[in-house]
A and B are shown apart, each in its own frame.
Chain A
Amino acid sequence: MDQVDIGLFDYDRNNTLYFFILNADEQIYSRYGGRDSKSPDTYLSLASLEIALKNGLDLHRRSQQGELKAPERPKPLFPREIPLLVERTFARNACVECHLIGDFQNLQRERDGKLDKLTHLYRSPDIKTLGIQLDVPQGLVVKETQGAAQTAGIKPLDRIVALNSTAVWTFGDLQYQYDKVDRRAERIRITVDRNSEPVELTVDLPVRWWWTDLRFRQSSVEPRPYFEDRPLTEQEKRTHRLKPEGFASEVKYVGDFAKLMMSHDLKIGDIIFAVDGVETDELVNSAEMFIKLRRSPEQKVALSVIRDGKRMEMPLKTFRMSFRK
């Protein structure tokens, strides 16, 4: 990876497999890859790869015939420009692996005070949060819609051809463009091919559209609280006399590491209704999410907990994931 322009070949480094189709001038026509948090190959298939390759050849022909305008080349970035990556890999003669590049980029951003968690940690947002289910072997053909996509008028058998006016040919293209949407955006424009006619539709982005389960990632900047929870219902909040707009949640799982590392003393069934005295946050709907978004690894926080009907305060220490580097 030493000589690779990772500014040009930008992608979510936690993809197990990722392809680019480009020409000798390094004009990228299309990408093939992308994933969700459940599996590295949810969106991969031989049939969709064949479609991607055919499209790639067609785009190449159009480029050679001068019909395809080359986009502006992204600012170059090489692995040796990331000081932490140099310090921890190059200087130790260690392999510069793709996921290490992603993680050290984020560690460097954290160190430089430039880490934007919504953008840098929550990469590869899932189009299923819009209610779009693709017919994966058919590439970008929509299988069914629900929620925001259905409300916007996207229909089964539509083929997605652009996001915010940028052409997309594969799921990899679509997810990359979706990832580039400003996390504060309220809507996006999706263009579909319907009966060979382009139809542009506006999709209102649901709350937390950017959220994905980060647990599959090897991330050193995501604070590890070693518990999982679920948001309380409005009724449950009323029952416990908690703020209706608060992020109170019930603990559903406590990791073994919690005891081993003496991170906290939470039990399944505990209700966490505040972290460091904070009960509400415009972005989050659970205590776990609040800690992951608003706190750092290796930080002590105070939890306000209801256990067996009694309110109590409980300390929690977050940890930093350690993996081979």
Chain B
Amino acid sequence: MRKQRLVLYALLAGVVGTALSQPGHRMQRRLSAQEDGIGWLSNYQEAVRQARETGKPIFLEFRCEP
């Protein structure tokens, strides 16, 4: 049976900015947020705090956890 958890991401602008600058096979690279050193947050209030501090939007994910 599935588990679901909340995962949050507060650095959307950084991800897309990196992605759009890379030619060829861009999609795999651009979505590898962990490889880019960008971490998902699991604390929503911390994500809101960082978004307010940096002026960046939040990319919030609800997903099943295998």
Contact = CB atoms under 8 A, between A and B. Distances in A.
Contacts of A323: 1
Interface residues of A, number: 33
Contacts of A99: 2, 4
B16 A23 contact: no
Contacts, number: 82
Interface in A36-89: 46-47, 49-50, 53-54, 56-57, 60, 64
Interface string A1-37: 1011000010100011111111110100100000000
A16 B63 contact: yes
Contact of B57 (A1, A46, A57): A57
A3 B30 CA distance: 31
B38 interface: no
What is the interface of chain A mostly: helix, strand, loop, or mixed?
mixed
A47 B61 CA distance: 18
B59 A97 contact: no
B63 A57 contact: no
Given A19-B59, A53-B59, A60-B57, A98 B51 contact: no
A324 B48 CA distance: 33
A15 B62 CA distance: 9
A149 B15 CA distance: 37
B19 A23 contact: no
Interface in B1-40: 1-6, 12-13, 15-16, 19, 27, 30-31
Contacts of B41: none
A26 B2 CA distance: 28
B40 to A, nearest CB: 12
A17 B15 CA distance: 19
B49 to A, nearest CB: 8
B16 A64 contact: no
A95 interface: yes
A22 B63 contact: no
Contact of A17 (B30, B31, B58, B62): B62
A235 to B, nearest CB: 45
B6 A18 contact: no
Contacts of B58: 20-24
Given A3-B44, A47-B27, A53-B12, A20 B3 contact: no
A16 B6 contact: no
Given A24-B52, A53-B16, A64-B55, A18 B3 contact: no
A29 B15 CA distance: 17
From B4, B48, B49, name the one whose CB has the most chain A CB atoms within 10 angstroms. B4
A5 B18 CA distance: 31
B63 to A, nearest CB: 5
Interface of A: 1, 3-4, 9, 11, 15-24, 26, 29, 46-47, 49-50, 53-54, 56-57, 60, 64, 95, 97-99, 323-324
Across the A-B interface, the 7 shortest Cβ-Cβ residue pairs:
A24-B52, A24-B51, A98-B4, A60-B57, A20-B60, A97-B4, A18-B62
Given A19-B61, A53-B15, A56-B57, 15 more contacts: A1-B5, A4-B44, A16-B64, A17-B64, A19-B60, A24-B52, A46-B27, A47-B27, A53-B59, A56-B59, A57-B12, A57-B57, A60-B13, A97-B2, A97-B3
8 contacts: A1-B5, A16-B63, A16-B64, A17-B64, A50-B16, A53-B12, A60-B13, A95-B3
